[in-house]
Structure 1
Amino acid sequence: MRDLYLAIDVGTGGLRSALVDRQGHILAFAHREHEQIVPRFGWSEQRPADWWTGTQETIRAVLAKVDNAANRIAAICTCGQMHGTVLIDDDGRLTRDAAPLWNDKRTAPQVSAFSDRIHQDAYLDISANMPATAWPAFKLRWIAENDPEAMARTTTVLMPKDWINFCLTGQRAQDVTEASLSFLMDWRSRDWSQALCDLADVDRALLPPLRNPSDVLGTLTPQAAQTLGLDPATPVLVGAGDYPMALIGSGVIGSGMGSDVTGTSTIITLMHDAPVIDPAISNVLSAGGDWGAMTLLDAGGDAVRWARRAFHENARSYAEVTADAERAATGSKALFFLPYLSGERLAPSSRAQFFGLTAAHGLPELHRAVLEGVAFSVRQRLDALQGGHGRPDRIVAASGGAKNTLWLRIKASMYGVPYLVPSELECGVVGAAMLMSVANGDNADLPAAAGRMVHFAQEIAPDPEWSEVYDRMMPIYSRLYDSAQGFYKDIEALG
């Protein structure tokens, strides 16, 4: 009985494989780290060959953990880190041993030159995104200028999960979620844009066919099947980028839902039927076909980490710091914290500050103000992300911030939206299993798959009394934010 889904996740820190059952439970999991290469400051690369080695090792590991697993695999689906630009030739050989990753900043000169040369009116309404160092369009431009020999031998550009798919099936393709953040796709047609290729000076012939994540790409090659010990007839899905896949795997399906991934920074995504065209917003196509208007705020868990270090020299645990904050009243006795300890993406010179300190404030208020300050900074961006569609029905929390119940209560009350926490935090793996369940006919569609396979550990509703306090504080926070801008350059000049 083929009742198991084999999910692969090509992460930045390592390769993960998992066996997932029809109810969305992970039965076996294996992880292999791979090296991140930093040839120069701001550069970040990995070897695609290492991803394939890790894939083989982790698949063998999970198959060994479940009885008769190799004969029970219904399908294979991969997600992975986005934007890593892999180049192969006619024979499928890598033309560059290392691929520049999503966090590689070497393309800054290319992005700057593009922005200086071309006004946003020429591309924003096609790409739904502004130029950025992460996008593959600019990585391809850098390679063409700096490694022309490799580019001359290249016939196809793949993303990390597409490279694994090629190793599994021999088929060349990209999916529309990856392409939505490539700066090369027309968001309306969901196909490559000749206009964007021309603007970015990218040869469209290098771009493989675009497929939907749930499409069956092919079956295993005889060599891959023998290497992995699997049936060569096993179907392999096209798959998706890790973040678009994690959206569906956390139950964020359909317009009106939201996602909050709070780690060091905060990524807020609100789902819509179409992109929100705004220079301050990025738009990503989810694995379910909805558009996520997203923004990354540099304020997040780093503010909590800073407070723990600055106030306690890391001698107290995060749980103890949170317990302190729980003793403070809502609004921290009218104490405000602007959480821009490392600047902001759109305003790099921004600084953090406490405002409203009195002799009545102590550590509980300081710690709670930090949590509330991050939430205020998110609320400032929500109206733009909503694109006039109103508040989301619910927001699903993920990453480290999902473990702090007090913070989730603050956010739910701040935004007036219930928060949900998934039971399974490997959301990319669950999302891949959901796609396979639909392709395999075990579920009729993704909403049905979500209802069966996504489980939530808790739901946190807004507190009306807290919401009333935050509604009164928010205009003051916004005025503080605006008035502080005039000081930053002067402060920076002090050295």
Structure 2
Amino acid sequence: MRDLYLAIDVGTGGLRSALVGRDGRILAFAHREHEQIVPQFGWSEQRPADWWRGTQETIRAVLADVKGSAERVAAICTCGQMHGTVLVDGDGRLTRQTTPLWNDKRTAPQVTAFADRNGQGAYLDIAANMPATAWPAFKLAWIAENDPQAMARTAAVLMPKDWINLCLTGILAQDRTEASLSFLMDWRSRDWSDDLCRLTGIDPALLPPLHDAGDILGPLLPKVGQSLGLDAGIPVLVGAGDYPMALLGSGVIGPGMGSDVTGTSTIITLTHDAPVIDPEISNVLSAGGDWGAMTLLDAGGDAVRWARRAFHDNDRSYARIAEDAAQAAVGSDALFFLPYLSGERFNPRSRAQFFGLTASHGLPELHRAVLEGVAFSVRQRLDGLQGGQGRPERIVAASGGAKNALWLKIKASMYGVPYLVPEELECGVVGAATLMAVATGDSPDLNAAAAQMVRFADEVQPDPAWAEVYDRMMPVYARLYDSAQEILADMDGLV
């Protein structure tokens, strides 16, 4: 019986493979780290050969972990870190042995030059995104300028998971979730844009055919199947970028849903039928075909880590800090915290501050104010992300912030939206399994597959009394934020 799905995740820190059952439960999981290369400050690279080596090792490991599993694999699907720009020649061989990653900032001059040449009206309504150092269009521009010999040998550009697909099937392709953040796709046609290629100077001949994430790309190559101990001909799906795949695997499907990924920073995404065209909002196509309007706020878990270090020299556990914060009243007795410890994405000059301190405030209020301050900073962005559609029906929490029950209740009450926590936090793997369930005919559609595979461990409802306090505090927070901007320019010369 072909009742197992083989999911592969090309992460920045390592390669992961998993065997997933039809109920969405992970039966086997393996991880292999790979090196991140930093040739100089601001650069970040990896070797695609390391990804393929890790893929083979982890697939063999999970197959060995479940007896008889090789004969039960129904399909293979990969997701992976986005934007890593892999160049191959006409025979599928690498023309550069290393690949600049999503967090590589060397393209800053190309982004600046592009913005200087072109106004927003030339590109924003096509790309649904602003130029940024992460986007592959600008990585290609950098390579063309700085490694012309490699570019001259290049026949196609792939993303990390596409490189794994090429190794598995011998087929060159990209998917539309990756293309949506390439700065080379027209969001309306969901195909490569001649206009964006012309504006960025990218040769359209380098761009392989685009597919939907759930399409079957092709069969597993016989020589690869033999090497891995799998049957040749197993269908390999096109797959998706790791973040849009994780949206699907966390149950964020269809308009009216939201995602909150709070790690060091906070990524808030709301799903819509179409992008929200705004220079401060990025738009990504999800693996399920919906548009996610997203914004990354530098405020998040870093604020909690700062408070732990500053107030306790890292000697107090995060659990104890959460207990302290829970002792404070909602609103922290009118104590505000602006959480911009590292500036902001669109306002690098921003700084953090406590406002309203009195002799009655103590550590519980300080810690709770930090949690509430991050939530206030998100609430400032929510109206723009909504695209005129109002608050989402539910927000699904992921990453480290999903483990803090008090913070979830603060957020639910702050935004007036219930928060859900997935039972399985390997959401990219579950998303890949849902695509495979539909592609193999085990489920009629993505909604049915997600209903069967995605389970929630907790649901946090807004507290009406808390919501009333936050509604009264929000205008004051907004005024504090605006007032601070008038002073920050004068502070630059003091440091």
* Total equivalences in the alignment: 495
Give the structure 1 partner of residue 297 of structure 2.
297
> Which amino acid in structure 2 is aligned with residue 252 of structure 1?
V
Q: How does 1:371-390 map to 2 (within 5 A)?
A: 371-390=371-390
Q: Does 1:33 find its partner at 2:33?
A: yes
Normalising by the residue count of structure 1, what TM-score does the alignment of the two structures yield?
1.00
Whole-Å separation in 1 of the counterparts to 2:150 and 2:465: 62
Q: CA deviation at 1:226?
A: 1.2
Using the aligned pairs only, state the percent identity.
80
Q: How does 1:441-456 map to 2 (within 5 A)?
A: 441-456=441-456
Q: How does 1:6-25 map to 2 (within 5 A)?
A: 6-25=6-25
Give the structure 2 partner of residue 465 of structure 1.
465
Q: Secondary structure in 2 aligned to 1:28?
A: strand
Give the structure 1 partner of residue 332 of structure 2.
332
> Which amino acid in structure 2 is aligned with residue 423 of structure 1?
E
Note the alpha carbon deviations across 1:146-172, whole angstroms, 9 max, x for none.
Answer: 000000000000000000000000000
Q: How does 1:30-109 map to 2 (within 5 A)?
A: 30-109=30-109
In structure 1, stretches of 5+ residues that fail to align are none
Note the alpha carbon deviations across 1:271-310, whole angstroms, 9 max, x for none.
Answer: 0000000000000000000000000000000000000000
Give the structure 2 partner of residue 137 of structure 1.
137
Give the structure 1 partner of residue 488 of structure 2.
488
Normalising by the residue count of structure 2, what TM-score does the alignment of the two structures yield?
1.00
Note the alpha carbon deviations across 1:77-100, whole angstroms, 9 max, x for none.
Answer: 000000000000011110000000
Give the structure 2 partner of residue 180 of structure 1.
180
> Which amino acid in structure 1 is aligned with residue 293 of structure 2?
A
Q: How does 1:392-407 map to 2 (within 5 A)?
A: 392-407=392-407
Q: Secondary structure in 2 aligned to 1:105?
A: coil
Whole-Å separation in 2 of the counterparts to 1:378 and 1:403: 18
Give the structure 1 partner of residue 127 of structure 2.
127
Q: CA deviation at 1:483?
A: 0.4
Give the structure 1 partner of residue 478 of structure 2.
478
Q: Secondary structure in 2 aligned to 1:396?
A: strand
Q: Secondary structure in 2 aligned to 1:261?
A: strand
In structure 2, stretches of 5+ residues that fail to align are none
> Which amino acid in structure 2 is aligned with residue 211 of structure 1?
H
Give the structure 2 partner of residue 190 of structure 1.
190
Give the structure 1 partner of residue 310 of structure 2.
310
Whole-Å separation in 1 of the counterparts to 2:291 and 2:93: 34
Whole-Å separation in 2 of the counterparts to 1:486 and 1:137: 36
> Which amino acid in structure 2 is aligned with residue 7 of structure 1?
A
Give the structure 1 partner of residue 208 of structure 2.
208
Note the alpha carbon deviations across 1:82-134, whole angstroms, 9 max, x for none.
Answer: 00000000111100000000000000000000001100100000000000000
Give the structure 2 partner of residue 367 of structure 1.
367
Give the structure 2 partner of residue 269 of structure 1.
269
> Which amino acid in structure 1 is aligned with residue 124 of structure 2?
L
Q: CA deviation at 1:463?
A: 0.2
Q: Secondary structure in 2 aligned to 1:64?
A: helix
Q: Secondary structure in 1 aligned to 2:475?
A: helix
* CA RMSD, 1 decimal: 0.4
Note the alpha carbon deviations across 1:218-255, whole angstroms, 9 max, x for none.
Answer: 01112111111100010000000000000000000000
Whole-Å separation in 2 of the counterparts to 1:121 and 1:333: 46
User: Contact 2:222/2:233 (CA < 8 Å) preserved in 1?
Assistant: no
Give the structure 2 partner of residue 164 of structure 1.
164
Q: Does 1:238 find its partner at 2:243?
A: no
Q: CA deviation at 1:486?
A: 1.1
Note the alpha carbon deviations across 1:414-445, whole angstroms, 9 max, x for none.
Answer: 00000000000000000000000000111111
Q: How does 1:387-426 map to 2 (within 5 A)?
A: 387-426=387-426
Give the structure 2 partner of residue 279 of structure 1.
279
Q: CA deviation at 1:394?
A: 0.2
